Amino acid sequence: MEGPAISQTTRPTKFLWLDLTRRCQLNCVHCYNSSGANGSHGEMSREDWLGVLEQAVAGGVQRVQLIGGEPMLHPDALVLADQALTRGLAVEVYSNLVHVSDAWWTQLQREGASLATSWYSDRADEHQAITGRPSFQRTRDNIVKAVRLGIPLRAGIVAVTEGQRVEQAKRDLAELGVTRVGVDHERPYGRGAQNRAPDVSGLCGQCGNGKAAIDPNGNVSPCVFSAEWMSVGNVRTAGLADILGGPKMADARLRIRHAVRGGKLCDPDRCDPGCDPNEECRPGYPGSACHPRN
């Protein structure tokens, strides 16, 4: 019997991950791009990133997420967030919330700005065993501050270890006033791959459809999880629209969809960081709407 038909519908790109840096204060055991203290900001200059924003707006992109690594460690991240918001883009900053400057708190209170973070446990020892640094209290304090300031905030609990206190972490976040909480699993990339080769079947099946990622060196890929091994072009040598609409991106989308044809494809509007984690697709997670992993 043949598997389910694979949709060929391609949506225009409305969402971009701006993957600014591989530098991070933490050393999370599951980090999908192996970021850490020795990570690099890559080859993209401020002008390169500003050019990406200009092209994104011209191409109809509506939302961007600043991610890394820790995006707040990038020297131009504040400028990029400012320019994106000024140009009418919605901007989510995905931060570990270990350190947030006064300038960032001001920026995050602007219309169109929002914040996201990862959380692991209600216990400091378990949380810090996963992050590799004494980060629990700093992140928790900044979650409290974001809620107090009225900054739109969502938290993703990543299940990494057996017996992890996921349900307790959810209750803890709720008590802190975080209303948008999702639960995800470790992704098989970067340190989370545990020395295994990248596997296309670990993606959601809709990568590159309505969304794309740009890494610190300017490489474009269908999503942040494929940035290290599935480049479809580079914005330093080609136009963003040409890359997104080019044959390499089309081939990558088709390759990913074929790899996950044994499972139900998730709704493209429910597989990106900008949507409500309580409703978004969790590919590959037991009981989720999709069988393949994202």
* pLDDT for the residue numbered 209: 86
Contacts of 5 (CB under 8 A, 6+ apart): none
Instruction: Dump pLDDT digits (tens) for 161-206.
Output: 999 999 999 999 999 999 999 998 787 677 876 777 777 766 777 7
Please give the Cα distance from 213 to 294 (Å, whole number).
14
Strand runs labelled E in the chain: 15-19, 63-67, 90-94, 113-119, 153-159, 180-185, 211-214, 219-221, 233-234
Phi, psi of 241 (to 5 degrees): -60, -40
What is the chain's alpha carbon radius of gyration, rounded to the nearest angstrom?
18
Q: Which domains does the chain have, with CATH numbers?
A: 15-261 (3.20.20.70)
Instruction: Dump pLDDT digits (tens) for 52-92.
Output: 999 999 999 999 999 999 999 999 999 999 999 999 999 99
* pLDDT for the residue numbered 55: 98
Helix (H, G, I), strand (E, B) or coil at 205: coil
Phi, psi of 140 (to 5 degrees): -65, -45
Helix (H, G, I), strand (E, B) or coil at 93: strand
Measuring CA to CA, which residue among 20, 70, 78, 17 is closest to residue 48?
A: 20
Residues of the chain whose pLDDT is less than 70? 1-9, 188, 193, 201-202, 260-294
Q: Is 101 exposed, middle or buried (0-12, 13-18, 19+ CB in 10 A)?
A: exposed
In what order do the strands lie in the sheet containing 90-94? Answer: 180-185, 153-159, 113-119, 90-94, 63-67, 15-19, 211-214, 219-221, 233-234
- Name the residue with tokens 């700093």: 138
